[in-house]
Amino acid sequence: MTKHDKLLIIDFGSQVTQLIARRLRELNVYCEIHPYNKIDDALLAALAPKAIIFSGGPASVYWKDAPMPPKGVFDLGVPILGICYGQQVMMHLLGGHVEGGQGTAEFGRAYVTKSAADCPLLGGWFEDGAEQVWMSHGDHVSKIAPGFEVYGTSPNAPFAITADLSRQFYAVQFHPEVHHTPKGAKLYENFVKMAGFTGDWTMDAYKDQAIAAIRSQVGEKKVICALSGGVDSSVTALLIHEAIGDQLTCVFVDHGLLRLGEADQVVSMFREHYSLNLIHADESALFLGRLEGVSDPETKRKIIGGLFIDVFQKYAHTIDGAEFLAQGTLYPDVIESVSFSGGPSVTIKSHHNVGGLPEKMGLKLVEPLRELFKDEVRALGRELGLPASFIGRHPFPGPGLAIRCPGEITAEKLEILRKADAVYIDQIRKHGLYDEIWQAFAAILPMKTVGVMGDGRSYDYALALRAVTSVDGMTADYYPFTHAFLGETSTRIINEVKGVNRVFYDCTSKPPGTIELE
Ligand code: XMP
């Protein structure tokens, strides 16, 4: 969609291919990941990359139908960097040799030492002797291809770093993208510099290009957007609003499962501050009515997801002539990954989203964040003037407080939960801990317990407090608050929120727990 120098990552199925892309984007280099089995010489020519990286992968070059790059890749005349399996592919195809090996597999930390004259890939390396790298390979290169030289070795990888400088082909056995290779980022920096990248991928430049692209896609037509107030949908809406102004209408579906004051904040910020056309679809009575008496977590999620779509459609139909639907789809959602495991993965929780809506409503999609990672979306949000406190907010799930209220949802429980959650978050902010935590929230438990308050007996709800650190929400550690913090917070909640007489802290990591309680 937008124009900038492009680096192509050919994915051979490594678990960490996305990390390569992250390292490159941090260097302001635009890159795309394409699975090896979806790329042929024609696509290669169309992409016209300025450089190519072969990712790692779990296969062996000697497997029948082993993953290989398109045939013409070595004739493009662009620099190529092969990583782990990517190195083996390079050697195999260019006349070297790869062996599966007893006793030569290496998993984990290793130390590479310099073994030849300077290689431009290694600027900044070996200044203090050996460099720590992360190895994860079964096979290994046993003979390098003609034209290559060895520039670094480790005890189990005599060809840890190899290069053919005249053709600008570089190949390493280890993974420079993981943080266990502390100077890995430097290696990528050297590679892109040699390939002539100028670092033209900035959110400032992206914003202008994306606005131009939205204008040319949409023309004079109207766009509708489901705005939740989360970072992705907010940035999507603001970017499109900058591009086409009043041709955009946002629908904020208020399902009555939001946090204290949240609906007012979203409405006042977007409608008043940004002057966006915003429909506040207050359908809390409908949602809460349909959830009455429902306690099964999956049923709750399905009811909320289904109603959300119905409500959105109802309001969208009131906007005459809308032809486009805006969605905050991010790059990790569109990357096709190579799967070697086969078979469907187990559904732990059915996530709430608006997938399927465009076909149902006959709308075309506008997805201006499709090329971005989450932290790039945040940077773009800053470019668009969103306040830092808003951009740094913890994630909040689509089904909202419903999944923080295990069992049956009632208006009374939601009210207690909203107040308690507000006190808890206030505590975290006051202690300066908000930005250290990935996500923190209170949940109201489906039980009452006995307590003593003043001279009387109480029989009130118990609350669970949750706080986790995480990088992507896939795994998480519980946050180690001090006892003093927990004690103070518990006291404040019980004093300030009527209906709670007991507070627990959830010290389960993920796995085995999930972040949300349902
Ligand atoms: P779990 O509970 O599965 O959550 O460990 C991982 C992350 O996903 C968020 N989450 C959701 N986000 N719709 C969303 O948009 C959902 O249905 C949903 N369920 C969980 C959760 O808050 C955490 O950040």
Listing DSSP states for 408-477 in one string gives: ---HHHHHHHHHHHHHHHHHHHHTT-GGG-SEEEEEEEEEEEEEEETTEEEEEEEEEEEEEE-SSSSSBE
Most ligand 1 atoms within 8 A of CB, residue of 349, 437, 441 to mutate: 349
460 lines ligand 1 (CB under 6 A): no
301 contacts 292 by C-beta, under 8 angstroms: no
| C-alpha dist (Å) from residue 42 to 46, 68, 72, 83, 338 | 6, 15, 9, 24, 20
For the CA of 301, the closest atom of ligand 1 is 17
Q: What is the Cβ-side half-sphere exposure of residue 150, based on CA atoms within 13 angstroms?
A: 17
Output the pLDDT for position 335: 81
Output the pLDDT for position 356: 64
Residue tagged 């431009």 (tokens)? 120
pLDDT single digits (tens) 459-507: 999 999 999 999 888 889 999 999 999 999 999 999 999 999 999 999 9
Cα-trace Rg, the chain: 27
Distance 473 CA to ligand 1 centre (A): 8
Closest residue by CA, ligand 1 atom 9: 397
pLDDT digits (tens), the chain, 518 positions: 557 899 999 999 998 898 999 999 999 999 999 999 999 999 999 999 999 999 999 999 999 999 999 999 999 999 999 999 999 999 999 999 998 866 667 788 999 999 988 899 999 999 999 999 999 888 889 999 999 999 999 988 899 999 999 999 999 999 999 989 999 999 999 999 999 999 999 999 899 999 999 999 999 999 999 999 999 999 999 999 999 999 999 999 999 999 999 999 999 999 999 999 999 999 999 999 999 999 999 999 999 999 999 999 999 999 999 999 999 999 888 887 676 654 445 666 666 555 567 777 789 999 999 989 888 999 999 999 999 989 999 999 999 999 999 999 999 999 999 999 999 999 999 999 999 999 999 999 999 999 998 889 999 999 999 999 998 888 899 999 999 999 999 999 999 999 999 999 999 999 999 999 99
399 lines ligand 1 (CB under 6 A): yes
pTM (2 d.p.): 0.85
| C-alpha dist (Å) from residue 3 to 116, 200, 214 | 39, 9, 14
pLDDT single digits (tens) 101-125: 666 677 889 999 999 888 999 999 9
| C-alpha dist (Å) from residue 99 to 92, 93, 110, 349 | 10, 14, 20, 42
Output the pLDDT for position 201: 93
Most ligand 1 atoms within 8 A of CB, residue of 351, 404, 474 to mutate: 351
Distance 397 CA to ligand 1 centre (A): 5
Catalytic residue ranges: 84, 175, 177
For the CA of 399, the closest atom of ligand 1 is 17
CA distance 399 to 418: 15
Residue type, 486: L
Most ligand 1 atoms within 8 A of CB, residue of 393, 471, 509, 515 to mutate: 515
Closest by CA to 25, choosing from 231, 211, 206, 239, is 206
